[in-house]
Each structure stands twice: as C-alpha cells, then as structure tokens.
Amino acid sequence: MSIEQTPPNFENNGIENDVERVSADFDRIHALCEILSPAFPQIEEGVPIEDEALRDKFTELTVLLNELHPADVAAVLESLPPRERNIVWILVKPEDDGEVLLEVSDAVRETLIESMDKDELLAAVDDLDADELAELADDLPHQVVYEALQTRDEEERAQVKAAMSYEDHQVGAIMDFELVSIRADVTCEVVLRYLRRFDSLPDHTDKIFVVDENDVLQGVLPIRKLLVADPEDLVETVMARDIVRFRAEDDVEEAAQAFERYDLVTAPVIDENKKLIGRVTIDEMVDVIREESEADILNMAGLQEEEDLFAPVWDSVKNRWMWLAVNLCTAFLASRVIGAFEGSIEKIVALAALMPIVAGIGGNSGNQTITMIVRAMAMGQLTGMQAGRLLKKEVGVALVNGIIWGTVMGAVSWLLYGSLGIGLVMVAAMTLNLLLAATVGVLIPVIMDKFGRDPALGSSVLITAVTDSGGFLIFLGLATLFLL
C-alpha cells in the first residue's frame, strides 16, 4: 500500500460563498492600495510607517489579504499594476506564497518570481507537493530547483523529475502522486480502518485505487460504494474493474474530454506495464478546459498567449506582432489584387467604394462556416467521411445568403449609382464570394486535419485572406468584364 501526503485544506479557510463579498474585498484592496501609495517606499524597505492613519490602512490591508483564499489573492495580484502588485505580494502570508504562485497566470508568475530572492523562493516552495514543485520548476531559477530538491526524499525527487519529463500537453505533466491504494483481497472493514490511519485524505478523493503486489492497477473502489458496502464484503466484489484510466503520455485535452463526458472526479494514471503511477483530478481538467478555450479565443483575436494586463508595453508588442505581421501580409496581397485593376477603378470609381462590402460579407460568412466545423472537430463529431455532405450543405446556405443579401446590396448600389450593371455585378460578386467562403471554410479545416495540423490555429486569418483577395478579384474582375 502506498503512502499519501496531506495537502493543506483550504476549502474551509476563510471563504464565504458570497461572490459579492469577494468582489467587495477586491474593491477595498484597490482603494487601500491607492491610499497607501505615499507609504510604498517604507513598505518596500520594511520600515514602520510613521503616519498613524496610513498605518491603520496598512494593517487593514494586511488583515484583508490574510483572510483571502490563495486563489483570490492570485486574482487580486493579476488585477493590480506592477507597483501595487509588488506591495500586495510583500504582504501575503509567506506560507501562502507557494499556493498563490501556482494559481496566478504564467505572465504574472514571472513578475512575482523576479521580485523574490532565493531564500524567499525556497520557503515558498517548501510546502508544495512534488507535482506542484514540478509545475513551478520551469519558471524558477535553476539553483532554487536544485536546492529545493535536496530537501526532499528520494521518492519525491523521483516524482518531481518524472512530472518534469512530460510535455505540457501530456497527462503526466498534470498528474499528482497523492495515491491511496489498497489490495483486492481485503474486506471493506479493513479498508475503513486503514483509511482512519491517515491524518486526512487527498483532495478530491472519490475513489481508492486497487492494485496487486506489483502495483498493477486492478480496479477502483468508489468511496460512495465503500460507504454503503457491507463491512465484511471483499474489495474485489465491490470494486469496479472496467474503468477510465490514462497513460502519462495521453493528450490532456482528450483526457479532459473523457472527464467531461463521463463525469469523472479523479482517474488513475498508469505506465506501459499498467502499473499505477499517479492520478489526475477534475480541478486540473477544469483548468485544461478553460485554457483550451481561452487559447482558441486569443488565437481568433490574434494574440499569441494570455497577456499580463499590465505587462510593459514592449512585452505586449512582442505578444501581438506575429499576427499583425501575418495580417499585413494578407492585406498586402489583397492590395496587390486591387492594384491589378487600377485601370478599371479609374474609369468607374464607384467600384472602390463597393469592393469592401463584397470582401467583408465573404469574411464574415467564411468565419461562421469554419468556426462551426473547427468546433465540431474539436468535439470529435466530425469524421472525414462527412466532409462532402457538409460542403453541400454549406454551399446551399451560401447560395441562399448570397441571393438574399446580394439582391439587397445590388438594389442599394443600383439606386446609389444609377447603374443597373453595377447592381447586377454586385449580386453576382457577393454570391460567388459567399460560395468561395463556404467551400474554403469547409476545406481548410478538413485538409489541416488530414495533415495532422491543429485546424483551429490561424484558420480565421486564412479564411479572411482568401475571402478578401478572392472578393476583390471576383468583384473587380466581373466589373472589368461586363462594365467596361
């Protein structure tokens, strides 16, 4: 049977449910930071504040921060500009430092770690579990990781190294080692007595892992079955054998999907010999789900990664330049398409005013199609076989939309410029560009997927590039053919 560690229990540590209360605390902390700003130099140097009124505010801020859950402290730190963030970070209870570092975003974590010296960092990571230390290790100075490992026993050192050996997207990187495991041939009564010997059970324990003498996973004993079982029953008669388990190399997003689909709270992680090596918990999976969709949203908006709200200007520029550069390239391409028709525009200047409408509706409609298909792929709802059927449907939608909106804008153009020809070219160009958008909107993700690429990444930029250049080409081309 393996030994487990007892993580600190924060669940009951100063949290009221009232979301409003936390939000009021945040506002108060922001206000106190403003009031205290004249005293920042003293606080930073650790000398007592002379002004009595300020000293009272300082005490209030300290008390308030000490009452907050580490996850709330993390949110407060993320919401503060650098100077204030630094002050609040000084005031956080040293024993909470490690938990807070685990909770903040990567960008903010870097700024916090930069502000700490080696001893503070060592103290902060001292209470952390092996998997938590591994999570922070990449952001810590090497010397700190090295010294922190020296204070651990051999088993824990091995755990930290194991956890650090996996890629960020692998289950191994988010598993923990707080395992409670038993043998199949004991009675439930024995299990209950065994459990009572622990000081406390690991967070989220909803099942106990059943292993044989070689630590090979045999099944799981759900706590809610253990509690209703006859004490004389053997574990092997109560346990579930057909269970959801993961390998350390599995993809975290697939694991998260399994947690979501099968409503899991914890699941065992095994190695290639089916030996139990760790477990994953729903709280980590919730983070995976959140980060996954955040990443999609940021990508769609052209941000490379989550950004510290108050990052220095230069850091923000670096986070954003790539997509801006890509956008400029595609815009330049579209611009050259227009350039090729300068002669036509010189003759009918109305074309210059109407062409963005054709390009715009294509981009909007193409993004609708591609988003729907990328989402369906992410949820595992789309296999290659149906691509043809989907294409037919999307082309149908595009045709309906093209005829409706093309006619509307065609009529408007006719009225505005008094030329039926311009109106008809508008109808045709809008319909054709919508058809192009639908076709490419289905094909881009299907092809990306076939070549094993993530269809979400940059799909929005790609489709807009096609519908912009394509839209200008179709509209100006038709106009040149029929109106000149």
Give the nearer residue to a copy of itself in terms of CB position, either 159 or 319.
Answer: 319
106 contributes a contact to a copy of itself by CB under 8 A: no
388 contributes a contact to a copy of itself by CB under 8 A: no
Strands in 266-270's sheet, in edge-to-edge order, are: 246-247, 266-270, 276-281
Q: Which of residues 458-477 bind a copy of itself (CB under 8 A)?
A: 460, 468, 472
Give the span between the Cα atoms of 276 and 218, in whole angstroms: 9
Q: Which of residues 231-260 bind a copy of itself (CB under 8 A)?
A: 240-246, 250, 254-255, 257-260
Q: Which of residues 395-414 bind a copy of itself (CB under 8 A)?
A: 396-397, 400-401, 404-405, 408-409, 412
* Strand, helix or coil for residue 170: strand
Token pair of 482 as six digits = 């029929």
Q: Which of residues 338-377 bind a copy of itself (CB under 8 A)?
A: 338-339, 342, 345-346, 349-357, 359-361, 364-365, 367-368, 370-372, 375-376
Separation of CA 316 from chain center: 19
Give the nearer residue to a copy of itself in terms of CB position, either 148 or 463.
Answer: 463
- Minimum distance from residue 156 beta carbon to a copy of itself (Å): 22
* Strand, helix or coil for residue 216: strand
Phi, psi of 140 (to 5 degrees): -90, 150
Determine which residue in the list 2, 8, 30, 477 makes contact with a copy of itself, applying CB under 8 A: 30
300 contributes a contact to a copy of itself by CB under 8 A: yes
Determine which residue in the list 46, 150, 314, 452 makes contact with a copy of itself, applying CB under 8 A: 314
The pairing of beta strand 217-222 with beta strand 207-211? antiparallel
Give the nearer residue to a copy of itself in terms of CB position, either 149 or 244.
Answer: 244
- Minimum distance from residue 149 beta carbon to a copy of itself (Å): 26
- Minimum distance from residue 195 beta carbon to a copy of itself (Å): 5
- Minimum distance from residue 230 beta carbon to a copy of itself (Å): 8
Residues 175, 278 contacting (CB under 8 angstroms) = yes
Give the nearer residue to a copy of itself in terms of CB position, either 125 or 207.
Answer: 207
Site string for a copy of itself, 259-298 (x = CB under 8 A): xxxxxxx-x--------------xx-xxx-xx--xx-xxx
Give the span between the Cα atoms of 345 and 343, in whole angstroms: 6
Give the span between the Cα atoms of 328 and 326, in whole angstroms: 5
Residues 170, 246 contacting (CB under 8 angstroms) = no
- Minimum distance from residue 8 beta carbon to a copy of itself (Å): 12
Residues 182, 194 contacting (CB under 8 angstroms) = yes
The site for a copy of itself, by CB under 8 A, has a size of 148
- Minimum distance from residue 284 beta carbon to a copy of itself (Å): 9
Give the nearer residue to a copy of itself in terms of CB position, either 148 or 177.
Answer: 177
Give the span between the Cα atoms of 215 and 35, in whole angstroms: 58
Helix ranges, 46-129 (H): 52-67, 70-78, 82-91, 97-103, 106-114, 118-126
3 contributes a contact to a copy of itself by CB under 8 A: no
The pairing of beta strand 217-222 with beta strand 266-270? unpaired
Site string for a copy of itself, 45-84 (x = CB under 8 A): ------------------------x-xx--x--xx-x---
DSSP letter string over 265-302?
Answer: SEEEEE-TT-BEEEEEEHHHHHHHHHHHHHHHHHHHHT
- Minimum distance from residue 366 beta carbon to a copy of itself (Å): 10
